[in-house]
Amino acid sequence: MTSLIVTRFAPSPTGALHLGNARTALFNWFYARKLGGRFLLRIEDTDRARSDESQVGALMAELRWLGLDWDAGPDLEDAKGPYRQSAREERYREATTRLMSAQRAYHCFCTPLELELARKAALSRGLPPRYPGTCSHLNDAAQEARRREGRESTVRFRVPLGEAVVYEDLVRGPQRFMSDELGDFVIQRADGTASFLFCNALDDAAMGVTHVLRGEDHVANTPRQHLILQALGAQIPAYGHLPLLVGSDGAPLSKRHGSASVADIRDAGYLPNAVLNLLARLGHSGALDGWADTRALIAHFELEALGRAPAHFDLTQLTHWQKEEVHRAPLETLLSWAKGKVPAGQEGAFIAAVRQNLVLPADAAVWAPIVYGELPCAEGAIEALLRAAGSAFFEVAATAVSEGADYAALLARLKSRTGLVGKALFHPLRAALTQRLDGPELAQLLLIIPRAQLIARFQVAAAVAVKGTDASS
Ligand code: GLU
């Protein structure tokens, strides 16, 4: 029997959900969903100064928008909760007390200044800047004396000496650290709150997390977290560290590279599945060709396919997946793109006709006036095209549509009356109707441009062509 896979996403609500974190969430979710496991959402809000409650709701909304769901979380509590670290402080204190009574942790009275001096002294001697163990063996009287001096204390974990911490990173492979390199580290801050790496490790164990995929910035925490969990006799999850997301220039992803937050991307009108198709491939190799739905993305996910090289985010790739998604999205999804931009009731017909030319909602604002508005005077290449076709061409077209001809009938009439075929036929038609050389299929445009407009545009084109003939004669 294989045991239940439990993964989690553990964001700190200190800012908007960035693409890098969204990818971390996604990979954990893929893994749990693929193997029928559980996916948890835990809010890491012990850093009260930096945590922002409004970010919690936003974060959940953004995960849901991406299509991620969780089996337990701050809004879906179960026996392993609460799923918010600010509500688990008692548990961290209990664990600290246990470690203290087992002599695996001790009070440290060093001031920040003393620590800084010790750090500098070590560095100047070419040694790693570890805690020198100043307070590691203070007896009760010595501790009391320091308290009387008014010194505050943190609690440090006593790292065992001469031990190798060995484990397999799910992405980076075998890891080996000598405990002596780590130095005793803080598990409880002077204000009594637990340190990040302490709560993070305790919660994973308490919540039965089996696999942790997280950012590479946590690599250095992992051997310490191993030691904490070992000392408490708790279950240690398998950790895997994902390389950073970088922009196409190789620098860590930021606003400079365009929208780096999920909210910005959503608000610009990208569709969730376009974002999923992009993120699922960043740092995950494999033979997944072309667009995939969520089910296929889940099925395709493999821990073995996670790479160590930094993953490059490129806006043109997002645009590519967005086009694929717009192409496939149900009409209802795109209706809001046309709302307020086209005459009421025309939204569906408009989207159906111009969908191939839309990438973002803003593109609807480009095509709406071309379909429903007044076109400006023809100039340049467009004017030349109209002139070359000649006024008779457009007079025939105007008459045909005024008599109710559909696209096929219009083409047939033009062919028989002008003898033109192919580009010579289509280009002037497109130019007269849109004043552009590219765009949605003409047959589609003919369905949505109001008939009066069709006639008017052909008449204007005829006039331009006549004028052209006059001018050149
Ligand atoms: N709260 C941490 C972060 O946002 C979570 C680290 C982890 O996944 O273990 O970076």
Q: Are 458 and 429 in contact (CB under 8 A)?
A: no
Tell me, yes or no, whether 93 and 232 share the same domain.
yes
Give backbone dihedrals phi and psi of 175, rounded to 5 degrees, phi first. -125, 145
> To test ligand 1's pocket by mutation, which of 55, 218, 244 has the most ligand atoms within 8 angstroms of CB?
218
Tell me, yes or no, whether 201 and 288 share the same domain.
no
pLDDT surpassing 60 at residue 1 = no
Tell me, yes or no, whether 226 and 277 share the same domain.
no
Which atom belonging to ligand 1 lies closest to the Cα atom of 8?
A: 8
154 three-class SS: strand
pLDDT surpassing 70 at residue 373 = yes
Range of the domain at 350: 330-371
Q: Is residue 365 part of a domain?
A: yes
Tell me, yes or no, whether 230 and 249 share the same domain.
no
Tell me, yes or no, whether 282 and 233 share the same domain.
no
Q: 168-207, pLDDT tens digit by residue?
A: 999 999 999 999 999 999 999 999 999 999 999 999 999 9
Q: Is residue 382 part of a domain?
A: yes
Q: How many other C-beta atoms can be found within 10 angstroms of the C-beta atom of residue 4?
A: 12
> To test ligand 1's pocket by mutation, which of 24, 46, 200 has the most ligand atoms within 8 angstroms of CB?
200
* Ligand 1 contacts CB of residue 12 (under 6 A): yes
According to DSSP, the β-strands at 173-178 and 238-242 are: unpaired
Q: Is residue 120 part of a domain?
A: yes
83 three-class SS: coil
- Band of residue 468 on the pLDDT scale cut at 50, 70, 90: low
Question: Given 242, 270, 301, which residue is the final one in a domain?
Answer: 242
- Whose alpha carbon is nearest atom 10 of ligand 1? 11
Tell me, yes or no, whether 466 and 399 share the same domain.
yes
For 108, the enclosing helix (H) or strand (E) is strand 105-108
Tell me, yes or no, whether 235 and 99 share the same domain.
yes
Q: Which residue has the higher pLDDT, 361 or 377?
A: 361
Tell me, yes or no, whether 25 and 76 share the same domain.
yes
Residue 53: predicted pLDDT: 86
Q: How many other C-beta atoms can be found within 10 angstroms of the C-beta atom of residue 209?
A: 24
* Ligand 1 contacts CB of residue 284 (under 6 A): no
DSSP conformation class of 176: E
Query: In total, how many domains does the chain have?
Result: 4
Tell me, yes or no, whether 66 and 123 share the same domain.
no
CA 184 / ligand 1 centre spacing (Å): 21
Q: 392-430, pLDDT tens digit by residue?
A: 999 999 999 999 999 999 999 999 999 999 999 999 999
Nearest-5° Cα angle at 123, 121 to 126: 115
Tell me, yes or no, whether 256 and 336 share the same domain.
no
For 8, the enclosing helix (H) or strand (E) is strand 6-9
pLDDT surpassing 80 at residue 267 = yes
Question: Given 242, 260, 281, which residue is the final one in a domain?
Answer: 242
Which atom belonging to ligand 1 lies closest to the Cα atom of 200?
A: 9
* Rounded Cα distance, 37 and 31, in Å: 8
Residue 250: predicted pLDDT: 83
Q: Is residue 467 part of a domain?
A: yes
Mean pLDDT of 79-104: 97
* Rounded Cα distance, 450 and 416, in Å: 25
Residue 222: predicted pLDDT: 97
Residue 473: predicted pLDDT: 43
Q: Is residue 405 part of a domain?
A: yes
- Whose alpha carbon is nearest atom 3 of ligand 1? 11
> To test ligand 1's pocket by mutation, which of 43, 44, 86 has the most ligand atoms within 8 angstroms of CB?
44
Residue 434's domain is classified under what CATH number? Answer: 1.10.10
Residue 469: predicted pLDDT: 58
Residue 472: predicted pLDDT: 47
Under the phi-then-psi rule, with left for phi > 0, alpha for psi from -120 to 50, and beta for the rest, what region is 332? alpha
Closest to 361 in 3D by CA, of 379, 335, 400: 335
Question: Given 209, 224, 242, which residue is the final one in a domain?
Answer: 242
Percent of the chain whose pLDDT exceeds 70? 97
Residue 293's domain is classified under what CATH number? Answer: 3.40.50.620
Q: How many other C-beta atoms can be found within 10 angstroms of the C-beta atom of residue 257?
A: 19
Q: 237-251, pLDDT tens digit by residue?
A: 999 999 989 988 888
* Rounded Cα distance, 40 and 10, in Å: 8
